[in-house]
Amino acid sequence: MGVAMFYHLTRGPMEATLPMLVEKSLAAGWRVAVRGADPARLDWLDEKLWLLSDEGFLPHGRAGGPHDARQPVLLTSASGAAPNAAACLICIDGARAGPEEAAALERTCILFDGHDPQAVEAAREQWRALTAAGIAAQYWSEESGRWQKMAER
């Protein structure tokens, strides 16, 4: 059973944290699905990921292409299993992960904007739903200037 990790973004934008999480997941040998709620935002992120990592780019693809199954990182707005057999799901911009899905993955990451009250409440709802289903969860905050685990359940 996987772990759900909640990242409360208060100092930097999602696109500053996402590459770090993707790189750690790839280093663990996992394929990654990045799930967003807005296809236009995923198109924007598709362009940015070529520039955001220490290596200069993160190898990835947009879901719906002919080589989805071969992508180490797949950007998608669809729910359910990713065609690239991801072991890590990273939800951004209000995208959600269900308890059954999180249980089947090694890791589920929920990134949420700490300056948006609706995003904070949506993350709290996901925390309650996932932990009620028996998924282990961790809450991480960058409030101090570096990422610190603030709660675990």
Q: Which domain holds residue 145?
A: 3-152
pTM exceeds cut of 0.85: yes
How big is the chain, counted in residues? 153
How confident is the model at residue 29, as a pLDDT? 97
How confident is the model at residue 54, as a pLDDT? 55
Q: Classify residue 102 as exposed, middle or buried by CB count within 10 Å of its CB (0-12, 13-18, 19+).
A: buried
Query: What tens digit of pLDDT does each residue of 51-107 get?
Result: 755 556 778 999 998 999 999 999 999 998 889 999 999 999 999 999 999 999 999
Q: How many structural domains does the chain have?
A: 1
Q: Residue 71: give its domain's CATH number.
A: 3.40.50.10110
How confident is the model at residue 80, as a pLDDT? 86
Residue with the larger pLDDT of the pair 65 and 111? 111
Supply angle C-alpha 1, 108, 124, rounded to 5: 105
Which helix H or strand E contains 41, and what residues bound it?
helix 39-48
Share of the chain above pLDDT 90, in %: 82
Phi, psi dihedrals of residue 42, rounded to the nearest 5°: -65, -35
